[in-house]
Amino acid sequence: MFKIKKMKNKIIIIFILVLFLSGCVGVGSKGIFGTGVSVAFDPRSVGTQVDDSIMQKNLSARFLLVDKKYLLSIKSKVLDGRIFLTGKVDNPEEKLKLTKMAWETAGARSVRNDIKIKEEFNFKQSAKDILITSQLRTALIFNKNIKATNYNIDTYKKKIYVYGIALTSDEKDEVIKEAKEILDVEDVIASILLVNDLRIKKD
């Protein structure tokens, strides 16, 4: 009886850890990255970081004015004036409208729109996407040539979306290589900025 109870406790602990890890890396079925890329070594100058933060807050406020539902359904991230959008909307017209609003944001250099059109929830597909995301996150953590905390990962229908800042082109290539080696992955869409490509380098 004691052994069964102990085994149950282990299963519960493992389940909680899986949920925690999937929460940290972002849930693929929702297409949401949380607050965005958490960069351990942020090569942007303080001024650039402030500009990006202001742009992001302004864009989020504009989305909220259009419809309060966007507070939860749409997430934005600004890196060096480049805007990344993710989330879900009801129809293609909404997606186009949000893209246009992003481009109209003062200081926008580019807009990457990975917003999805809502579909019927598929538990099996969602579970598979979460597993793919977790596998890649683990691979990046164990790869000594990659600063895993500099990247956000999302998986949608076996397609991996990777966002972040790479210190070198070799690191960028390594991240993409790791993503392509994950089992069942159909495509890898990487939006990885290089330090040398940033508008304002670290002082």
Taking phi over 0 as left and psi of -120 to 50 as alpha, with beta for the rest, 184 belongs to: left
* Domains identified in the chain and CATH numbers: 46-117 (3.30.1340.30), 121-197 (3.30.1340)
Q: What is the pLDDT of residues 101-137, one digit of tens each?
A: 888 888 888 888 888 888 766 788 889 999 999 999 9
Tokens of 48: 């650039």
- pLDDT grade, residue 46 (50/70/90)? low
Q: What is the mean pLDDT of the chain?
A: 77
Q: Beta-carbon neighbour count of residue 195 at 10 Å?
A: 17
On the CB side of 3, how many CA atoms lie within 13 Å of its CA?
0
Contact 151, 175 (CB under 8 A): yes
Condensed to tens digits (0 to 9), the pLDDT of residues 139-166 reads 999 999 999 988 888 888 888 988 888 9
Structure pTM? 0.56
